[in-house]
Amino acid sequence: MNRREFIDKSTKTTLAAMLSLSAFGTVGRAGEVKKQQKNWVWITPDIEASDDEWKRRFEKLKRVNISSLIPEVYNGGPAYYGSQQLPVKAPLLERLIPLARDFDLEIHPWMWVMPCGLDFVRKKHPEWYMVNRLRESALTKPAYVDYYKFLCPAKEEVQEFIRNTVKELAAYDVDGVHLDYVRYPDVIIAMGFWEKYNIVQDKEYPQYDYCYCDTCRSKFKTQQGIDPLEINDPSMNGAWIQFRYDQVTHLVNNKLIPSIREKNKISSAAVFPNWKNVRQQWQEWQLDAVMPMLYNKFYLANTEWIKQYTKAGIKSIKHNTSLYSGLMVNDITVLKESVEKAFEGHARGISLFALKSLTKQHYEILSTILNK
């Protein structure tokens, strides 16, 4: 079998698995068509833009019925808000809040959860980082890209470090806190990236399989009586797979969401459609809003997949969580089709990645679709 035949076969298998979410168990709000649409946009940091430029951007968003802003304020490095825990690059959040309020826009600061490249964490707490099945630390040998320096969610010290950041953001005059990278590194990365990284992941390889740190090994052995390093085929061991799902779910449901809700704020998260490959059982999370990142090109799929996955994702949700289809800003025709397919799948709305990619033509097509 050649590489193209393998990818074609794997694509069909992956899509079938991802669309079988309805087998997950209790149905949440399957098939419910939401009465009130809400649309979001992810905003990457831009500290050079003037207040007037931000106002022009916000005015454009308001005109096309995008009402919720997700500005990135922490991405594993210095923060873009006045943190007491993290080094600060610029107080961008403090600038954006009053500007957003002037346009009656919601604002949900966006933070990365597990990746961390901060110098003081790397130097003082190297033991906080995940370890792969080869016993290599994500700190010194991250998978795929340098910023994949993931902290381990099983460690209580890590949980508290992350929760403190969430608490800081929830204390602001914002509408919610948006969580990203709430997961493990991809044990099998989306097939659209295989050529980029010159890999074919036909199974789970040890260099991408996390986490085998002392904390995870000890906790799992206490629960199951076996060291996960002694498991012959970890990819087939249901208990070990579920253990890792549970570490992330515990962090979200028992640490982060309560810290957001105690300030009467909305909890939301960007999540993966191929959730099994990043140990991210987000259907179990008690969020207010979830945004599966349905970037179909990453999965070698067409826009019809966005509709199918949106339906399956809604059906899989176990809690009172609204689903918004996360869409990549592509060329005009593809964006139009993507938005239409999301709504055909009964998404509550869409979330676009990202603001900086929107052109005049994008705004025109969004106005036509979102202002219906």
The phi and psi torsions of 196 (rounded to 5 degrees) equal -60, -45
pLDDT at site 36: 78
In this structure, is residue 14 part of a structural domain?
no
What residue spans of 103-256 are helical by DSSP H?
Answer: 119-124, 156-170, 194-197, 214-224, 238-250
Contact between 137 and 100 under an 8 Å Cβ cutoff? The reply is no
72 has pLDDT over 70: yes
Return all residues near 313 (Cβ < 8 A) that are at least 6 apart.
21, 273, 290, 292, 323
In this structure, is residue 290 part of a structural domain?
yes
The phi and psi torsions of 98 (rounded to 5 degrees) equal -65, -30
Helix, strand, coil percentages for the chain (3-state, nearest 5): 45, 15, 40
**CATH number of 162's domain:** 3.20.20.80
pLDDT at site 287: 98
Residues 113 and 130: their CA atoms lie apart, in Å, by 13
In this structure, is residue 42 part of a structural domain?
yes
Q: CA 194 → CA 12, 54, 147, 303, 322, distances in Å?
A: 16, 37, 18, 20, 32
In this structure, is residue 24 part of a structural domain?
no
The number of CA neighbours under 13 Å toward the Cβ of 279 is 32
Residue % of the chain over a pLDDT of 70: 91
Q: CA 58 → CA 45, 96, 175, 195, 354, distances in Å?
A: 15, 10, 16, 37, 13
Residues 285 and 262: their CA atoms lie apart, in Å, by 17
In this structure, is residue 23 part of a structural domain?
no
In this structure, is residue 233 part of a structural domain?
yes
* pLDDT confidence tier of residue 34, bands split at 50, 70 and 90: very low
pLDDT at site 31: 32
The average confidence (pLDDT) of the chain is 92
In this structure, is residue 25 part of a structural domain?
no
Residues 368 and 76: their CA atoms lie apart, in Å, by 37
In this structure, is residue 140 part of a structural domain?
yes
Contact between 50 and 80 under an 8 Å Cβ cutoff? The reply is no
Q: At which residue do the structure tokens 């929760």 appear?
A: 163
Contact between 39 and 371 under an 8 Å Cβ cutoff? The reply is no
The beta strand positions in the chain, using DSSP E, are 40-43, 68-74, 106-107, 110-112, 176-180, 266-271, 289-292, 322-328, 349-353
100-133 tens-digit pLDDT: 999 999 999 999 999 999 999 999 999 999 999 9
Range of the structural domain that residue 230 is part of: 36-370
The phi and psi torsions of 292 (rounded to 5 degrees) equal -60, 130
pLDDT at site 17: 43
pLDDT at site 372: 85
Contact between 73 and 109 under an 8 Å Cβ cutoff? The reply is yes
pTM, rounded to two decimals = 0.92
Kindly report whether the peptide bond that precedes residue 116 is cis, defined as omega within 30 degrees of 0: no
What is the number of domains present in the chain? 1
323-362 tens-digit pLDDT: 999 999 988 899 999 999 999 999 999 999 999 999 999 9
* pLDDT confidence tier of residue 268, bands split at 50, 70 and 90: very high
Q: CA 320 → CA 24, 32, 81, 140, 284, distances in Å?
A: 16, 12, 30, 40, 10
The residue that leads in pLDDT, 91 or 29, is 91
153 has pLDDT over 60: yes
